[in-house]
Amino acid sequence: MAAEQLNQSECNRSRVMRFLYNNGVSSRAQIAKSLGLTPAAITKITAKLIDEGLISETGEIEGARNRRSIGLRLDPERFHFIGVKFARSLIQVGLFDLAGNAQRIWVDMTADHPSIGDAITSLKTLIGQIMARFSTVVAIGMAVPGPYLRDCGHTAVVSSMQQWRDVNFPAEFADAFAVPVFIEQDARAGALAQQLFGDDGARDDLAYYLIGEGVGLGVVERGRTIDGARGTATEIGHVSIDVNGRRCDCGNYGCLERYCSAVAIHKALDEDGGIVADSDTMTHIEACEALFALAADGDARALELVRHIGTYVGYGLITIINAFNPRRIIIGDIVSHAGEPLLASAMRVVDDRVLPELAATTSVTLSDLPTDAAVTGAAAVAITAFLEQPSRFADIARRRRGD
């Protein structure tokens, strides 16, 4: 019972932290009113948060009816987070503040390492160095390609990350550092980043449609991600768009991922050698970027291929709308760099094939987060955990500072 009551208090502290996170400097009265807390409760909660160094008082601010009151704020620079994004060909590591601003990004090409074991050792060394230099780091988030089986700790299909199939992520990383590590499917991490750092509006009902080396989806429904019983829900990349279509590594046929991932685009370019010269010597990302650059320059065949891919991106949008009905869909990762022609082509399919009532009330945009959005998602996983259990991380911060 004591544990549960502690959780209840931590839950209220978390709500106050979230409120300040989303609304900036606010008075106790404003917070209490919005969250339905009594004056006694808000006094107690904020006193503990101040004592823990999680929030601080600012000068006086303008309150209701011109009354002035003390402001409270969350300092985004006081706590830092490491985000790690795993993809087939590279590992990105970023240092972030609480607001999701990247302080620095490191990129490690897996091809530079003789083995996965070596890549992991190198990653651990890098994280250790960052942590030694920044004692403000309190948590690490990792984003891995789905399907990621949460309970047994490994990725399951990995058409985009074959070599990593045998890695048990929690066993490898959970206790490797002095701070907790949180692991999440990459598109779900992207959805959390959009919820925390993205545009205002529909923060609580959105989908992040990741089209990179794999195709994934993260959905936030009424403020929470849809996870599924084993953490493998919203695997749109392996929902079939044609039950008689191309065979996929997951066992299914006609998986969306086989038609519009960066890997599928690269394959199409290699098969038709004429659009991007020497595409077979390029990485998937390079091949895609070369195609998109040609299309942007008006190359007719490149543009035709981009539009063709956009049609498949559109088929995915239709499934997302009919299966999850989010208010906003944000398309991100490598393939979103194709920009307007791709989006226009996808939206033509949506307008043709989705109920008009739904098409009219679903916004579809390309990601507006900076280029490093992928690794930002990994940080968002850690920051979400921080906002859920602020006191736990205040303890960790104290320990890290050596208090």
Closest approach of a second copy to the CB of residue 261, in Å: 15
Half-sphere exposure of 323 (CA within 13 A, CB side): 18
List C-alpha distances in Å: 98 to 71, 135, 195, 223, 232.
19, 14, 14, 19, 27
* Residue 255 vs 265, nearer CB to Zn ion: 255
Residue whose entry in the numeric block shows the structure tokens 């996983």? 381
What string marks each residue from 124 to 163 as x (binds a second copy by CB under 8 A) or -?
-----------------------x-x--x---xx------
Contact call for residues 382 and 141 (beta carbons, < 8 A): yes
Name the token pair of 211: 């089209």
* Residue 5 vs 281, nearer CB to a second copy: 5
227 counts as binding a second copy under rule CB under 8 A: yes
What string marks each residue from 36 to 75 as x (binds a second copy by CB under 8 A) or -?
xxx-------------------------------------
4 counts as binding a second copy under rule CB under 8 A: yes
Q: Would you list the DSSP string of 55-73?
A: EEEEEEEE-GGG-EEEEEE
Kindly tell me which residue out of 241, 263, 309, 383 binds a second copy, with binding defined by CB under 8 A: 241
Half-sphere exposure of 198 (CA within 13 A, CB side): 28
Closest approach of a second copy to the CB of residue 344, in Å: 18
Name the token pair of 85: 């994004």
Kindly tell me which residue out of 110, 195, 252, 384 binds a second copy, with binding defined by CB under 8 A: 252
Name the token pair of 337: 């760099």
264 counts as binding Zn ion under rule CB under 5 A: no
* Residue 63 vs 245, nearer CB to Zn ion: 245
* DSSP bridge partners of 183: 142
Q: How far apart are CA 142 and CA 375, in angstroms?
A: 8
| Residues with Cβ within 8 Å of residue 186, at least 6 apart in sequence | 85, 86, 87, 143, 144, 145, 146, 210, 212, 214, 216, 374, 377, 378
Closest approach of Zn ion to the CB of residue 217, in Å: 13
Kindly tell me which residue out of 110, 160, 185, 252 binds Zn ion, with binding defined by CB under 5 A: 252
Q: Please give the residues from 276 up to 315 whose contact with a second copy meets the rule CB under 8 A.
A: 315
Name the token pair of 206: 């959105």
List C-alpha distances in Å: 32 to 60, 75, 111, 144, 197.
17, 20, 53, 38, 24
Closest approach of a second copy to the CB of residue 8, in Å: 7
Kindly tell me which residue out of 29, 105, 250, 323 binds Zn ion, with binding defined by CB under 5 A: 250
Q: Which DSSP symbol is given to 253?
A: B
Kindly tell me which residue out of 255, 309, 317, 397 binds Zn ion, with binding defined by CB under 5 A: 255
What residue ranges bind a second copy (CB under 8 A)?
1, 3-5, 7-8, 32-33, 35-38, 147, 149, 152, 156-157, 202, 205, 221-222, 224, 226-236, 238-244, 250-254, 315, 318-319, 322-327, 352-358, 361-362
What residue ranges bind Zn ion (CB under 5 A)?
238, 248, 250, 252, 255
